[in-house]
Structure 1
Amino acid sequence: MSVVVFIGRILFVALFLGSAFGHLTQTQAMTAYAEARGIPNARLAVQASGVVMGIGALMILFGVWADLGALLLVVFLVPTAFLMHAFWKESDPETRQFEMIQFNKDMALAGASLMLFGFFASVSTLGLTITGPLISLG
């Protein structure tokens, strides 16, 4: 079963690792989008969010305090959903639909990250990890 969990972790973090890479290599383009959304210090926010995503994803992938890594992803996803994808503010139907999809995706991933946090924090043996949980719920 530990191999299945490890494969699941790989599949889960692939999105975040790709996104973190984009934040750090395409900072200018992402900064323009963040500025259009009214994010203060947009360039720093883009870079910081890339670092948070990357660290959280790597922690989950390698099993280095994966519970904390899952919480880092929640810390990134929830504000991003509300600040970057506020679909309720959009008047254009296509833009509204796009932002609603992105908002729902971020919230679903935040929910999955919270479930992973609960799983990592309550299971004593995760198999194929470098450390055990940092936070214990059980």
Structure 2
Amino acid sequence: MDVVVLIGRVMFVILFLSSALGHFTQTKAMAGYAQAKGVPMPEMAVRVSGALMLLGSISILLGIWADLGALLLLVMIVPTMIMMHSFWKETDPEATQSETIQFNKDLALAGALVMLFGFFAHTEELGLTITGPLF
């Protein structure tokens, strides 16, 4: 079972690691998009969200205080979900549909992160991790 959990952790963090890479290599473009969505201090927000994704992903991937890693990703994804995918503000039906899908995807990821936090913080047998939980 340890290997199965490790495979799941690897698969889960690929999304966040690739997004973090984009946040650091395409900061200006992402900041422009964030600014268009009304995000305050968009360039800083892009960098901070990229850092949270990178740190949280590495934590979960390597099993170094993975419960903290799940919380870092949760802290990043909830504001992103609300500020970047505010489907209720859209007037165009296609934009509304697209933002609704992205909002729901982020909501599902947030739910998975809450479960991962619970798993890492309260499961005795974590298997193939470097450290135990922080919390």
Q: TM-score range by the shorter chain?
A: over 0.9
Partner of 2:65: 65
User: What is the total number of aligned residue pairs between the two structures?
Assistant: 135
Partner of 1:134: 134
The alignment partner of 1:127 has SS state of coil
Partner of 1:33: 33
- Structure 1 gap ranges (5+): none
Partner of 1:113: 113
- Determine the C-alpha separation between the residues in 1 that align with 2:65 and 2:92: 43
Partner of 2:47: 47
Letter in structure 1 aligned against 2:45: A
- Determine the C-alpha separation between the residues in 1 that align with 2:55 and 2:125: 22
Letter in structure 2 aligned against 1:131: T
- Structure 2 gap ranges (5+): none
Letter in structure 2 aligned against 1:82: I
Superposed structure 1 runs of 4+ greater than 4 Å apart: none
- How many angstroms does 1:87 deviate by? 0.3
- Determine the C-alpha separation between the residues in 1 that align with 2:111 and 2:54: 18
- How many angstroms does 1:127 deviate by? 1.1
- Determine the C-alpha separation between the residues in 1 that align with 2:2 and 2:17: 22
Letter in structure 1 aligned against 2:26: Q
- How many angstroms does 1:124 deviate by? 1.5
Using the size of structure 2 for normalisation, the TM-score is: 0.98
Letter in structure 1 aligned against 2:60: I
- Determine the C-alpha separation between the residues in 2 that align with 1:18 and 1:57: 10
The alignment partner of 1:131 has SS state of coil
